[in-house]
Every structure is written in C-alpha cells, then in structure tokens.
Amino acid sequence: MASNAYHFITVWRVQSTLQEVVEVIGNALELPRWWPSVYLDIRQLEPGDALGCGKVVSLYTKGWLPYTLRWQFRVTEVHPRGFTLVAAGDFVGRGIWTFEPDGEWVNITYDWKIDADKPLLRTLSFIMKPIFSANHHWAMRKGEESIKLELLRRRAKTPQERAAIPPPPVPTFPALYKPGTADMTNLFATAK
C-alpha cells in the first residue's frame, strides 16, 4: 500500500429505522447542520436522478487536526440499503455506505478507500500516517455522536424535548477556516 493510501472501515450502531438513516446520511446538504465538527460547507453541483445516483457534491471538511480538505463526490450507485460514492480532489477514491436493519437498530458501515492527494497529506503520509489515520477516526467518532443526537432531535415530540438535546460537537480550531468557501472547479465535469 502506498504511503498516501488509506483504507478505513467504520461501523456505527444506532437505534433507528432504515428509512431514518437513509434520510439523514443520504442528504449531503444537511451534513454541516448535524455533523458540523467535520462538514464545514457543502454545495450540490449536480442533482443526479430521482434516487440521487449521479449527484455531485462539493465539500469543505476537516478533522481534529488544523487543516481543511476540499473534495467532491459523485454518487455512482444507490440501493435501498446504502450507496457508493467516488471522491476526487484532496481525496481520490471511493466510499461505500451500507445500512443493515437489526430490530430496533441499524448497523451503519462506511468503507472508505482513498489516496490522500492534498500536497500536505501526500508529502507527509510516509511519516504521519498514524496521525492522519487518528484524525479520520476522530472525525468518524464525532459523526457517530452527531447522528445519534440528530436521530434524537428527529424523534423529539415537543419543543422542550428538542431543546433538552445537546447540540452536535463543533469543529476544532474554528478560526482557521472560512465557511462558504467550498466552491471549486467541478472535478467530475470531464467524466460525464
């Protein structure tokens, strides 16, 4: 495996329905609201078909470390229990979200196989790979915490119940990024 190649498999278990999980994770434009520690800004560049296949999204993201990433994804496959995306930009690779109902629970798996192409990551991966990997794991732990809070908010029956749910974790080093700056050339424009 090249020093800038990464393969992560993340598993979350949430008390929810399959439909709720699909609605939450499948709506990329809402990520900055419920997972703000990682997703700073999102722009939809192409809507895709009725199921979202072909959708292209531009993202401005970060983890715990004080650097940001600009990338895009195109949804290449959609099925009732998940979807596949292809990434380009500071990340190049693919991600597969899979949702498996288990009674009152849903097991969520994210299989993320990428090459880090941001110059900082590409250059330093040979020595910093454990730190960059820890940064990814931090981001995914924040995602699990955030989706559980989002599911509680969705199920709150009264404004008082909703107000009692804590907000999702916020980004680290907030002064180092500027929201609203995710616009970038559509990396998938030539792939049509």
- What residues contact 95, with CB distance under 8 A and at least 6 apart? 73, 84, 85, 87, 110, 111, 112, 113, 114
**Hey, how many other C-beta atoms are within 10 angstroms of the C-beta on 153?**
16
Determine the Cα–Cα distance for residues 106 and 104; give it in Å rounded to an integer: 7
Residue 3 has pLDDT above 90, yes or no: no
| Model pLDDT for residues 5-56, shown as the tens digit of each residue | 999 999 999 999 999 999 999 999 999 999 999 999 999 999 999 999 999 9
Q: What is the mean pLDDT of the chain?
A: 90
More confident residue, 117 or 177: 117
| Model pLDDT for residues 68-109, shown as the tens digit of each residue | 999 999 999 999 999 999 999 998 999 999 999 999 999 999
Query: Considering the entire predicted model, what is its pTM?
Result: 0.88
Rounded to the nearest angstrom, the gap between the alpha carbon of residue 191 and the centroid of all alpha carbons in its chain is 22
Token pair, residue 117, equals 């192409």
| Model pLDDT for residues 94-147, shown as the tens digit of each residue | 999 999 999 999 999 999 999 988 887 778 878 888 898 999 999 999 999 999
Residue 175 has pLDDT above 80, yes or no: no
pLDDT of residue 187: 53
- Please state, in angstroms and as integers, the Cα–Cα distance from residue 50 to each residue in 26, 31, 47, 57, following that order: 13, 20, 8, 15
pLDDT of residue 17: 97
pLDDT of residue 186: 55
Residue 192 has pLDDT above 80, yes or no: no
Query: How is domain 5-161 classified at the CATH fold level?
Result: Alpha-D-Glucose-1,6-Bisphosphate; Chain A, domain 4 (3.30.530)
Residue 178 has pLDDT above 80, yes or no: no
